[in-house]
Amino acid sequence: MIPTELNNLILEAKSANKTPFYVSATAGTTVLGSYDPFTEISQICKAHNLWLHIDGSWGGSAISSPPHKGKLTGSHLPTPSP
């Protein structure tokens, strides 16, 4: 996920009188093992009062691996439901 694009899409939805309410980020995609930038996404969600969910079903276990836990930086920042 590209944070600037996320923010732009949220603003676009709001200007169209739509109500975005949550963002689902990914901790380890099934194809590439990619991790979203959780810190930046969390900041955007807080600015717009959106709930942030992080799907860690594929890569969440990296938190217990010293060489890989850095991939989950910011994963402690999901926002509580507004």
Kindly state whether residue 12 falls inside one of the protein's structural domains. Answer: yes
pTM over 0.85: no
Specify the higher pLDDT residue, 78 or 56: 56
Kindly state whether residue 81 falls inside one of the protein's structural domains. Answer: no
Kindly state whether residue 19 falls inside one of the protein's structural domains. Answer: yes
| Cα–Cα distance measured from residue 75 to residue 56, given in angstroms and rounded to the nearest whole number | 9
Q: Which domain holds residue 54?
A: 3-72
CB distance 41 to 4 below 8 Å:
no
* pLDDT per residue as tens digits for the range 32-52: 889 999 999 999 999 999 999
Q: For position 36, what pLDDT does the model report?
A: 93
* pLDDT per residue as tens digits for the range 60-82: 777 777 888 777 787 776 665 55
**Domain tally for the chain?**
1
Is the predicted pLDDT of residue 11 greater than 70, yes or no? yes
Q: How many Å separate Cα 29 from the centre of its chain?
A: 13
